[in-house]
Amino acid sequence: MNNIKLKIPLKEEKIRELNAGDLVELSGTIFMARDRVHKLLTEKIDEKFQQKLSNGAIYHCGPIAKKEGKEWKILSAGPTTSIRMEAFESEVIEKYGIRAVIGKGGMKEKTLEALQKFGAVYLLAVGGTAALLAEKIIKVKNVYFLEEFGIPEALWEIEVKDFPLIVSMDSKGNSLHKEVLENSEKKFRELIK
Amino acid sequence: MKEKIDLVQVLVELYKMTSICLPEDVKEKIKQARENENSVLAKKVMESIEQNIEIAEKKQLPLCEDTGIPVFFIEIPKSFNHEEITERILKATEIATEKNYLRPNAVDSFTQKNSGNCIGKGIPTIYFEQKERTGIKFNLMLKGGGSENIGKTYSLPNTELNAGRDLDGIKKCVLDAVVKAQGLGCPPNIISIAVGGSKDVIAFESKKQLMEKLDKENENKEIREFERDLLEKINSLGIGPMGLQGKTTAFSVKTKFLARHPASFFVEVAFCCWADRRHSLEWKNGEAKYE
């Protein structure tokens, strides 16, 4: 299976063609953001970030980062569990024009609906493969809210090249996570009968 | 004569090793799972995991960015002072964070401020056990937040699961926890169960049990049979690596049965992610031996 190449800015048309199960490689400027940044972005819509995030991607990640002179370097950066962002993500997709949400573990109905409505996908990065993924981060362009939130929870603007991901929720209403959940629940009910 | 080295330095080395390198028994299970999986995505996930292990070792970088909460289980001779040891662990934690072997993971739960050095009340977590021995043994685990979050405590009987106070009831609790966890805690997982009468004791024992090697078998034949059957049932759920469907949802199941109060029957289900980072250090007469 060939990996599909994706580039930032993401085009809605191309995103809507993706199917759950596709392997993709993403290149361009993306944003690492998790719990507290999601809360912040939805409490007050920020025009500066609306411009920056439009047709872009958010990566649920709290990296290990090192400062060398004036430059930051990302040493280790795997995904964090996305479900904690479920309450915020649909609004982030809508208000900031996000076309790809990257994380692990998948998300629920509210996000799946937003993916369909606004033309976006959920891309799974393999949890724990932080050294492998950090190799694909070629530059840190900026970091915001570092003082308030600390390294793991700041908003990081980074450039990635051929970032390896799996489409696990597409914009057609398909979710591998929903499928696996339903199948395993069915098996579970048989087992505990 | 060997040069005497400082305990702080040796503990920093233990942190480094635990953050970068997985124990051999875990690597072996990962390899087996990769060979055993046959769907495209499950294979892809296991291959990425193996590649990541190689890259982390080669570049000497933390294999997972979540270096978790450091948990120490220390076996200490009776003559040693706990406070002195704790002081050195804290110093080593600070240095290991500066050197980026640890991510600063201590956030004050009242002010929400990150301490920046991975030190806070309860972090790192340090347990001492006095033993009849000459050197000190430091057993360290870096316990990630994702797998910690999916752990569950059940009180039996549980009508919702139709789970009574017996082995079958315990199995229902564990299967329920695994189904609820799905791919959230980075499966394949290691599942550690403790059954008993007080919540603090089962929480502690289930975590301590995660320090054991994966193939270490329970001494009791019936408990071994219980664990084998449970592991088979867990893997029959088909959740698979990272929850994308597959044969390997768990590598291993470990169970500890403790005494309980007649009124209470608690089941603790603790999870560890595939990145099961644990190593030990034997410190004796100024010399260090790692495991």
Please tell me the distance from the alpha carbon of residue B95 to that of residue B76, in angstroms, as a whole number.
23
Q: How many CB pairs under 8 A join A and B?
A: 168
- Provide the CB-side half-sphere exposure for A68 (13 A, CA): 7
What pLDDT is stored for residue A1 in this prediction? 59
pLDDT in tens, chain A (193 residues): 579 999 999 999 999 999 999 999 999 999 999 999 999 999 999 999 999 999 999 999 999 999 999 999 999 999 999 999 999 999 999 999 999 999 999 999 999 999 999 999 999 999 999 999 999 999 999 999 999 999 999 999 999 999 999 999 999 999 999 999 999 999 999 999 8
Q: Above 90 in pLDDT, residue B25? A: yes
SS3 A134: helix
Question: How distant is the Cα of B70 from the closest Cα of chain A, in angstroms?
Answer: 16
ipTM: 0.96
Please tell me the distance from the alpha carbon of residue B244 to that of residue A21, in angstroms, as a whole number.
9
Please tell me the distance from the alpha carbon of residue A14 to that of residue A12, in angstroms, as a whole number.
6
Chain A interface mutation, best of B242, B251, B272, B277, highest count of A Cβ atoms under 10 Å: B242
Q: A181 pairs with which residues across the strands?
A: none
Question: How distant is the Cα of B81 from the closest Cα of chain A, in angstroms?
Answer: 34
Greatest alpha-carbon pair distance for chain A in Å reads 62
Model confidence over B234-282: pLDDT tens digits? Answer: 999 999 999 999 999 999 999 999 999 999 999 999 999 999 999 999 9
Model confidence over B101-116: pLDDT tens digits? Answer: 999 999 999 999 999 9
Question: How distant is the Cα of A127 from the closest Cα of chain B, in angstroms?
Answer: 6
Q: Above 60 in pLDDT, residue B4? A: no
Domain holding A105, by residue range, is 4-192
Q: Provide the pLDDT confidence category of residue B79 given band limits of 50, 70 and 90.
A: confident
Q: Which of A132, A134, A192 is opposite residue B51, by nearest beta carbon?
A: A132
The single-letter DSSP state of residue A79 is P
**Residues of A involved in catalysis:** 38
Contact between A159 and A139 (Cβ < 8 Å): yes
What pLDDT is stored for residue B160 in this prediction? 95
Segments making up each domain of chain B, as ranges: 7-15+63-144+277-290, 146-272
SS3 B217: coil
Question: Which residue shows structure tokens 């993924």?
Answer: A133
pTM for the structure as a whole: 0.96
Model confidence over B108-164: pLDDT tens digits? Answer: 999 999 999 999 999 999 999 999 999 999 999 999 999 999 999 999 999 999 999
Question: Which of B36-40, B49-53, B81-85, B211-215 has the least mean pLDDT?
Answer: B81-85
Q: Which of A61, A134, A166 is opposite residue B41, by nearest beta carbon?
A: A166
Supply the CATH number for residue A80's domain.
3.20.130.10
Model confidence over B171-220: pLDDT tens digits? Answer: 999 999 999 999 999 999 999 999 998 999 999 999 999 999 999 999 99
Q: What is the domain count for chain A?
A: 1
Interaxial angle between packed helices A86-96 and A35-43, expressed in degrees from 0 to 180 and rounded to the nearest 10? 50
Chain B interface mutation, best of A4, A187, A192, highest count of B Cβ atoms under 10 Å: A192
Closest B-chain CA to A1: B40
Q: Which of A130, A153, A176 is opposite residue B62, by nearest beta carbon?
A: A130
What pLDDT is stored for residue A193 in this prediction? 84
What pLDDT is stored for residue B286 in this prediction? 87
Question: Which residue shows structure tokens 């449970």?
Answer: B230
What pLDDT is stored for residue B2 in this prediction? 47
> Taking CB atoms and an 8 Å limit, are B185 and A128 in contact across chains?
no
Question: Which of B38-47, B75-84, B112-121 has the least mean pLDDT?
Answer: B75-84
